[in-house]
Chain A
Amino acid sequence: MNDALLVVVIAQGIAYGTPLLYGALGELLAERSGVLNLGVEGMMLVGAVMGFWAVQRFHATTSVALLAAVGVAALAGAAIAAIHAFLVITLRANQIVSGLAITIFAGIAGLSSYLGNDLDLATSPARHQFQEVFPSSWQDLPVVGPIIFGQSILVYASWVCVVLVGLYLSRTRLGLNVRAVGDSPAAADAMGLNVSAYRYAHTLVGGAFAGVAGATFSLSITPQWIAGLTAGAGWIAIALVVFSFWRPTLCLVGAYLFGAFSYLPFALQARDYSWAPPPELSQSLPYLMTIVALVLVSSRAARLRFGAPAALGRPYVREER
């Protein structure tokens, strides 16, 4: 029963959706503060390569090495995000162009590949990787076994993050301030909030999330360093924020849906169904579905103006408001 296509696709959809979820949560925090960061793909790749590097170099027990690797990946993502933050918050550069620059700088033909080649990481499998945490008797339970208990700690940690980010934005003073900064920076400024500080902090935290998302690829899903291994997941994460209407719980649903789309081609290929479409077609499914989902919500969202931070993408200059 646990081998049924549907169960496998749901279980693996959760695993494959987890980097999307981390990336989307990070982007959501940055966008709620008014900063659009299109560099998620680049930050993910740098997180992936640095996390992988950490695991190969730190000689420690598995859990310590993996924890350190996630930390390194988060720092690397935040470091790249800091460039974007400096350019768009302090130097008031165009957020779209700066974000694209981040992806080009850090992405497949840039820093991540440079580091991967220079540190000679592409040749070896990961020395440590994330494993399922629950005993195998639990994982053998019908249906819930693989779906709920067959996941790595990164999946459970992402659930905690969804709850924390949701509570932060709706129930804490700081979170409400962030929303004020993203919706009306002038009003927030008049309230005495430091708009730049809020935007810097959330862009950096967003970068850290993207770095962890990258490490999820290189230490759990793939688990190996391959140049460009995220294959557009960063962009799907950005789109997820839009069609989850900037809400963390909907991000989770969307991430698992698109994780399932990403895993489906592997499942079909492994089972060799006669009815299966050519693998290229099923591999293009997540990209095509992203377009479809985006069209569905944008026609609705355009009418309802539902959820988007009002000052998203605009620099805030006190003298020019």
Chain B
Amino acid sequence: MIRIERRLEQPRWLTVVVPVVSIAFAFLLATLVLLATHHPPLHTFARLFQAAFIDNGALTETLVSATPLAFTGLCAAVAFRMNLFNIGGEGQLYAGAITGAAVALLVGGAPSPVVIVAMILAGAAGGALLAAIPGVLRAFFSTSEIITSLMLNYVVALIIDYLIFGSHSYLRDSSGFQASVFPQGKTLPDSATWPSWTIHGLVIPLGALVAVAVAAAVWFLYARTRFGFEVQVIGDSARAGRYAGMRTRRKIVAVMCLSGAIAGLGGASQDGDFRHQLDPRGLIQANYGYAGIVVAALARYNPFAVLLVAFLLGGLQNAGYTLQGADFPNGLVGVLQGLLLFCVLGGELFIRYRVRIERRHATATEPA
């Protein structure tokens, strides 16, 4: 007979051991998936690890994948903390990429720092405006933000397609024969290229530093300010917050906008750090927004843990791109991410609860 009972206190060692065991269990399950589809598991894991962290230039590429994941991870973490399930990080990142690229083209003549600051502000504004839609609908019409924010992902994906493939918009490159056959975004001016720093061959993009700064700011906001405290109270119990005189509706909209702004920053960083044009296909195929939810959940919505998890999952994603081919089918990375998430989610039970296996003493209780 198995009984599950709530722990009165949670021993500290459990909060370390359980996640580690959960992750090990996820890899065990991944081994089964690989075996079932006739791939050598140990060899595959070794190659994954090598391509992510060991090979020449691997760490630089891992940072390229980790930077957007840090932004979308923070985007999800900020909202999920308040029990606001913003899963529109994907679309909010596109929105930031659109506004960031538009502003870069508009003020491209200005000195580089001005252009970069303008892009950062525009990207954040683009993401925040998009996230405000599900935020306002949730706050004033009590419409589930889960579905509305997700639906907007598809809408913005279509808008970004329209801007580059379906129209002769300001953002589309219309010079020359090449551009009319293979439509693509206009190349951004040099002043819109974000700086990067090289340390021992590791290239650190400005976006990665911005992400670290945002994580610190989010931590401060939630741990040290009245706003953050109220957000957490409302997240735990909206009714308690209202009775305490907190303006719950404004908080919902504000948190959604903040969450969207962070994803939008990630979009601007895509323009300035990596792509140097509005690149619909690349952004849509990368799935940064959905992976950001995995990052946030694995990090248990802690902003600094988000950075760490983003780095690790960024490595996984980078290895996925590098190794993609016949013996390394695309989709494996998503499978691994999903398994990790299942195991960590399931593992939380063992932190909060104790599982007891009791033998039934049927014979002992019988009268002699």
B residues in contact with A115, CB < 8 Å: 37, 331
Secondary structure of the A contact surface, majority rule = helix
Secondary structure of the B contact surface, majority rule = helix
- Establish whether residues A117 and B144, one from each chain, have CB atoms under 8 Å apart when the complex forms: no
Given contacts A108-B287, A287-B154, contact A101 B294 (CB under 8 A): yes
CB closest residue in chain A, given B349? A91
A249 close to chain B: CB less than 8 A: no
- Establish whether residues B146 and A93, one from each chain, have CB atoms under 8 Å apart when the complex forms: no
Question: How many residues on the B side are at the interface (Cβ–Cβ under 8 A)?
Answer: 49
Query: Closest CB-CB distance, B137 to chain A, in whole Å?
Result: 6
CB closest residue in chain A, given B296? A97
A187 close to chain B: CB less than 8 A: no
- Establish whether residues A118 and B37, one from each chain, have CB atoms under 8 Å apart when the complex forms: yes
CB closest residue in chain B, given A300? B141
- Establish whether residues A298 and B144, one from each chain, have CB atoms under 8 Å apart when the complex forms: yes
CB closest residue in chain A, given B39? A118
Query: Closest CB-CB distance, A209 to chain B, in whole Å?
Result: 19
Residue with the greatest number of chain A CB neighbours at <10 A, chosen from B5, B287, B338, B342: B338
- Establish whether residues B348 and A93, one from each chain, have CB atoms under 8 Å apart when the complex forms: yes
B residues in contact with A14, CB < 8 Å: none
- Establish whether residues A114 and B143, one from each chain, have CB atoms under 8 Å apart when the complex forms: no
B14 close to chain A: CB less than 8 A: no
- Establish whether residues A101 and B158, one from each chain, have CB atoms under 8 Å apart when the complex forms: no
A residues in contact with B133, CB < 8 Å: 291
Q: Could you name 25 residue pairs across A and B whose Cβ atoms are closer than 8 Å?
A: A96-B146, A97-B297, A98-B342, A100-B85, A101-B345, A104-B290, A105-B335, A105-B338, A109-B331, A109-B333, A110-B334, A113-B329, A113-B331, A114-B331, A114-B334, A117-B331, A118-B331, A235-B147, A238-B147, A284-B158, A288-B151, A291-B143, A294-B144, A319-B6, A320-B6
A299 to B138 CA separation, bound complex (whole angstroms): 10
Query: Closest CB-CB distance, B79 to chain A, in whole Å?
Result: 12
Given contacts A299-B141, A319-B6, contact A104 B166 (CB under 8 A): no
B residues in contact with A116, CB < 8 Å: 331
- Establish whether residues A298 and B151, one from each chain, have CB atoms under 8 Å apart when the complex forms: no
- Establish whether residues A87 and B345, one from each chain, have CB atoms under 8 Å apart when the complex forms: yes
A279 close to chain B: CB less than 8 A: yes
Residue with the greatest number of chain A CB neighbours at <10 A, chosen from B6, B151, B152: B151
CB closest residue in chain A, given B3? A319
Given contacts A108-B287, A284-B155, A287-B151, contact A117 B143 (CB under 8 A): no
Given contacts A101-B297, A291-B137, contact A110 B148 (CB under 8 A): no
CB closest residue in chain B, given A98? B345
Chain B residues 155 to 194 lying within 8 A of chain A, measured CB to CB, are: 155, 158-159, 161-162, 166-167
A8 close to chain B: CB less than 8 A: no
Query: Closest CB-CB distance, A185 to chain B, in whole Å?
Result: 16
Chain B residues 202 to 234 lying within 8 A of chain A, measured CB to CB, are: none
Which 7 A/B pairs are nearest by Cβ-Cβ distance?
Answer: A105-B338, A110-B334, A114-B331, A113-B331, A117-B329, A109-B334, A280-B162
B residues in contact with A101, CB < 8 Å: 294, 297, 338, 341-342, 345
CB closest residue in chain A, given B347? A91
Given contacts A91-B349, A298-B143, contact A114 B332 (CB under 8 A): yes
Contact of B147 among A92, A114, A239 (CB under 8 A): A239
- Establish whether residues B142 and A299, one from each chain, have CB atoms under 8 Å apart when the complex forms: yes
